[in-house]
Amino acid sequence: MSQRDTLVHLFAGGCGGTVGAIVTCPLEVVKTRLQSSSITLYVSEVQLNTVNGTSVARMSPPGPLHCLKLILKKEGARSLFRGLGPNLVGVAPSRAIYFAAYSTAKEKLNGVLEPDSTQVHMLSAGMAGFTAITATNPIWLIKTRLQLDAR
């Protein structure tokens, strides 16, 4: 594989990751909010019953659509893209590193194992994933903290 092929994989991975991050950012925000231990999304929905003393009506945690509606209502549509900046800073290099590492590992492993076998693809994917995650982990921490910040 030539250096040009590696650069093409870097560019393709970066572009694909960027488009994917923009399209899926609102879903990421909802997912992160639902996974967090914060109950701020539905605490305002709790109502007090005063018929025979005071008691709190039990509520189940909100589903994704309920969470989406609350975010839109209380924080506005712009908040669905909270954390997009660090996500874009992270996803383009992450995908680029992944694609380049995958093609490089695959080329090396094809010389050691049966070329283009299942083992070559699995080991290449594992090595590429490990490399990309390790290199970009601090960026994902920042992104998650920004998504949890309900202003």
* 15-33: pLDDT as tens digits: 888 898 899 999 988 988 8
Sign of the torsion formed by the C-alpha atoms of 36, 21, 72 and 63: negative
Give me the pLDDT at residue 151, please. Answer: 55
pLDDT at 53 over 70: no
Query: Which amino acid is located at 3 in the chain?
Result: Q
DSSP string, 28-89: HHHHHHHHSS--TTTGGG--EE-TTS-EE---PPP-HHHHHHHHHHHH-GGGGGTTHHHHHH
* 71-104: pLDDT as tens digits: 999 999 999 998 888 878 888 788 888 988 998 9
Nearest to 99 by CA among 3, 7, 10: 10
